[in-house]
Structure 1
């Protein structure tokens, strides 16, 4: 049955390729591929023509095994299409529909080819469903993997943007943290802070956690790792922005940071100035001292 079905399907696609292509493009346009504005009609036509031609060749030489060597060029083409659609912002439904919408045009072509031969038609439909389902799954796997890569890269970029190291004064840096501090983000924080310490030859680094919603034992461990790394580079650390609610939570959890902490960034900055032998005075006071 499978071999007969492959023969029927291969002959149908080869003889009615133009009709299948036109019907397939019509289904793709009706399915919303063009309405999104993410792909041009010429590009969609080129993709469909290439995929259908490779599908025809694979059927002729590789049978119904969509995971076989004969289907390798087709799988690679579908993978490229899936990756590009992941970057272009297509939905999973749009991407899956690119392959699965080929079923109906092929089914109609099989009916025209087989006529009243129900046995040939059934075997052809069975092989069509099997092969296109396998190709559809391959397309979705590549699409989802590409989306995960995009999301991971965007998350890393956001983490880098959300952990800026600010130079407050000569030798004094500030690292304002916003959001949850996890293991992945801790690595970015450490790297940015240590590089800034080297570049600025900083003596003190202020880690401000005003924007951190909660501090539990795990977050405290990440903070301590950051402090330890900074100390190894020769910079003392001050933690600022511990709100009353967070302080109570840390007391209940028995969390000890073992580092100088202040309620606000301004208080921490004042401590940093004193440690580096500096102080800020009002201009009028300074002028009065000069007159004396």
Structure 2
């Protein structure tokens, strides 16, 4: 084993508690982001993976090597957990970078009579800790992107609910801008609900859609076509005067598609189409 590896391994094995204490004090990582006990446990896991790589005589420049697998796994879990807790990437990287100080002070004592060896050991340690910090930042960013994508997907699903208005009648109130991904989700959800409920008619309400252009109209036409292929019919409601003028101005052909100004009108037509008659009881 190389001299710097032996010296660093000896420090971890013989002075772990002191290193941990100085590390946590130096990191000063937001005490509001988890308990002291939890941060100590995280630091111990990092030190364990750190020691495994050193004992395997691994090189910090090759941080992707198998010898560092355990350390990378611990850092991944740490980054993911802190991202979920709301800690920033900077806070997480500072936590790792703060390892340097307790090791540097001890390496000075180990190589006080050999300046070249001291410089080499400090450079070796600094390179490894920098690699660790960069790895945590990359992992943090991936985790945050996954969280954001998942939240966007959940919001998209919440914004396009399929509601059963009456026996055999479904409705999809559209709110916001329609794009390809959202239209695909609406189509898949609506078609599945038609199969599950055996509904004969679906109402797509676009009252909450701010503008209708050629692309939006194409998305609606594709959805209507898919609904008809499933053996059901479709009514588009929420055709406001501005939207009607825009559709005419753009030359969009909605012939053969039933449209209504309001969701109430569409529901009334749907009930008649399916054979229901709604009457007021006499006083």
Q: How does 1:200-215 map to 2 (within 5 A)?
A: 200-215=197-212
Whole-angstrom CA distance in 1 between matches of 2:42 and 2:207: 51
* Alignment partner, residue 275 of structure 1: 273
Partner residue, 2:49: 54
Q: TM-score, normalised by structure 1?
A: 0.84
Q: CA distance change for structure 1 residues 242 and 27 in 2, over 3 Å: closer, same or farther?
A: farther
Query: How much has 1:207 moved relative to structure 2?
Result: 0.2
Rate the CA distance shift 1:60–1:199 in 2: closer, same or farther, 3 A: closer
Gaps of 5+ in 2: none
Report the secondary structure of 2:275's partner residue: coil
Q: How many equivalent pairs are there?
A: 279
- 1:174/1:208 contact within 8 Å kept: yes
Alignment match, 1:121: 118
Between the aligned partners of 1:216 and 1:140, the Cα distance in structure 2 is 41
2:24 equivalent in structure 1: 25
| Cα distance in 1 for residues equivalent to 2:270 and 2:48 | 70
State the alpha-carbon separation in 2 of the partners of residues 225 and 51 from structure 1: 53
Unpaired segments of 5 or more residues in structure 1? 288-292
CA distance in 2, matches of 1:143, 1:156: 20
CA distance in 2, matches of 1:156, 1:130: 39
1:223-250 superposed Cα distances (whole Å, 9 cap, x missing partner): 2222112111111111111233333333
1:63 to 59, 63, 76: 59
In structure 2, distance between residues paired with 1:232 and 1:193: 13
Shift of 1:170: 2.1
Question: Does the Cα contact within 8 Å between 2:174 and 2:207 map onto a contact in 1?
Answer: yes
**Does residue 175 in structure 1 map to residue 135 in structure 2?**
no
Instruction: With the length of structure 2 as denominator, give the TM-score of the two structures.
Output: 0.87
Inter-partner Cα distance in structure 2 for 1:220 and 1:136 = 49
Moved more, 9-18 or 137-146: 9-18
| Deviation sequence 1:234-286 (CA, Å, 0-9, x none) | 111111112333333333433334422122111212222332333433333xx
